[in-house]
Amino acid sequence: MTYRLPKKDLDQTLRGWANQAEVFAPQKREGYAQFLPWEAGNELLLDEPHNTRFPPKAFFLPQSETLLTYNRKLSQLEMPALQISPRIIFGIRPCDARAVALLDTVFATQENPDPYWQARREQTILIGVGCNQPATTCFCTSVGSSPFAHAGLDALLIDLGEAYLVERFTERGEALFANLASADANDIEQAGNIQKQAEALLETAFITDNLKDHLDQIFDSSLWGEFAQSCLGCGICTFLCPTCFCFDIVDEAQRDERVRNWDTCMFRVYSLEASGHNPRPTRAERTRQRLMHKFSYWLEHADQFGCTGCGRCVRYCPVGLDIRAMIRKAVATPSEAVHVN
C-alpha cells in the first residue's frame, strides 16, 4: 500500500512529529545543506541533487563521544547516562540510510552490540526522501542500491511535484504517516516514471562482477602507488563517508574523560604501532586499504560493498581523486601482470 502526502501538509506533519521527538531535516547553514533541528517555519532543502555534506552517521556514531569519565583520586568510573531523547531524521537519502543499515552489521550485532550506538539507533526513526535527480557524483546503482532504495528506512517519500508518494516499511514509519489518503494509480505510475528517469541518469560507474576476487589478486600491483601520488592523506573521504566507522579511543587526561573519536586509515598514525613499525608505511598501502576495505573486505563480513555510492568523497577530495575512476582502473589492471611495490 502506498499513500499520498500533499506537500502543503508536510509542515503540519512535521509539527505533529515535533511533539513526540526532536525532528532533524536538511537545512542550509554556512552555505550548504546540513541536518539541523527543525522548527516550524524553517526552510527545508529536500530536492538538491546531492546529499548533505556531513554524513548522518554522526547521529549514531558521533565524531567525538565520551565513553566514560573517571576520577583518578577516588578510583571511580562513571558511564554516561546515554539518555537519548527520541529523534526523527527526515529527508535522509537512500544511500545514507543504507549506510546506517550497513553500519548496523558492525555496531548492532547480536554477539557484540555497541551500547552507545544501540541507544541512539533505537531512539531514531529514519524517513527518507528519494532522489529524483541524482548528482553527477552519485553512483548508488553501481553498488547495488538505487535512488529510491528502502534499506535502513522506516518510510520513503517520492516527490511527485504537488505531493509525495509515501511508502511505509516499519511500524514506526506507519505510525508517523497514519491517516493518509491512499495513492491513486496516477501517483503510482508517476512515481514509477520518476524512478526510471532517475536511474537512467546514473551511469554505470564500474563493473562489479568478481570485483572482490580481482582486487584481491592485484593486491601487490603498482596501481595503488599511482593513486597515492596525488593523495594528500587527509581524512576527508573517510570522515564524510557514511559507511566509514573506524574510531580511536583516547584518554583525555586533562579532563579525566575517555573519548571515542572518528579515525581514518588515511592517516599515517592510524596503523603506526608503539614499536614504531607501520604495516602501512606509505600512502600506497593506505590508499589500497581504503579501496580494498570498501570493495573486498566488507564483503567478507557483510556480503555487501561497504560503499553506497553517495559521492561525497568524489565531490570533496581536494585533489580530485574519484573512487569510481580508481575502481575502473583497478578492474582494468590485469591480475597476471602484478608488480611488487
Q: Which residues are at the interface with another protein (CB under 8 A)?
A: 30-32, 48-50, 53-54, 63-64, 135-137, 201, 229-230, 232-236, 239-240, 248, 250, 252-255, 259, 261, 264, 267-269, 314-322, 324-325
Which of 255/301 has CB closer to another protein?
A: 255
Which of 127/241 has CB closer to another protein?
A: 241
Cα-trace Rg, the chain: 22
Shortest Å, Cβ 116 to another protein: 14
The dihedral built from the CA positions of residue 206, 201, 36 and 164, taken in this order, carries a sign that is negative
Shortest Å, Cβ 260 to another protein: 8
Cα 293 from chain centre: 15
Question: What does the alpha-carbon distance between residue 237 and residue 240 come to, in Å, rounded to a whole number?
Answer: 6
Question: How do the residues of the chain divide into helix, strand and coil, expressed in percent and rounded to 5?
Answer: 35, 20, 45
For residue 85, the tally of other CB atoms under 10 A from its CB is 8
Shortest Å, Cβ 87 to another protein: 19
For residue 274, the tally of other CB atoms under 10 A from its CB is 5
Which of 292/317 has CB closer to another protein?
A: 317
Shortest Å, Cβ 263 to another protein: 9
Which of 30/43 has CB closer to another protein?
A: 30
Contacts of 278 (CB under 8 A, 6+ apart): 268, 271, 272
Shortest Å, Cβ 74 to another protein: 16
Rounded to the nearest 10 degrees, the angle between the axes of helix 115-122 and helix 94-107 is 140
Shortest Å, Cβ 235 to another protein: 4
Shortest Å, Cβ 112 to another protein: 24
Which of 25/241 has CB closer to another protein?
A: 241
Which of 115/318 has CB closer to another protein?
A: 318
Report the SS3 class of residue 95. Answer: helix
Q: Which residue has the cell 532533524?
A: 24
Which of 264/289 has CB closer to another protein?
A: 264
Shortest Å, Cβ 327 to another protein: 11
Which of 18/259 has CB closer to another protein?
A: 259
Strands (E), the chain: 2-6, 22-29, 32-37, 64-71, 76-78, 87-92, 124-129, 155-159, 163-168, 181-182, 247-252, 257-262
Question: Cα–Cα distances in Å, from 132 out to 45, 57, 195, 335?
Answer: 14, 23, 7, 38
